[in-house]
Amino acid sequence: MTRLNFVLLAAVLLCALATVTSTHRARLLFADLENEQSRQKQIEVEWRQLQLEQSTWAKHALVEGIAERQLGMRAPDPRRLVFVSPAASAPVAGAVASADGAPANGAPASSGAPAIAQ
């Protein structure tokens, strides 16, 4: 009978130690969870601030103002713009260039450059 009591006492002590250990681990994990949730909120706030900053910097008027003030850039005179259509500048498949470098199909030679102010 006493042997059974010792076995039961040992089992109760082991269960008590396991309960204490698991409770302690659960508290540690819960503290870690709260820390990570707090960090997530901080990151979300920072993300919103970065999105706002990006939208501010991406505004056309702001970019244009910085280009004019800091870089001394200005828009070209509309009368001096020459627009090249994509169809005219794209090479024709199978077209052979003549001796002077112009395409054989009669289209003007294109350097592939975008619109140029003259």
Q: Is 105 domain-assigned?
A: no
Q: Is 14 domain-assigned?
A: yes
Q: Is 41 domain-assigned?
A: yes
What is the distance between the alpha carbons of residues 57 and 62, in angstroms, rounded to a whole number? Answer: 7
Q: Is 106 domain-assigned?
A: no
Q: Is 108 domain-assigned?
A: no
From residue 27, give the alpha-carbon distance in Å to each of 16, 34, 38.
17, 11, 17
- Over residues 19-77, the pLDDT tens digits come to 999 999 999 999 999 999 999 999 999 999 999 998 887 888 888 888 899 999 988 88
Domain range enclosing 53: 1-91+113-118
97 forms beta bridges with 103
- Over residues 74-106, the pLDDT tens digits come to 888 889 888 888 875 555 555 555 445 555 455
Domain total of the chain: 1
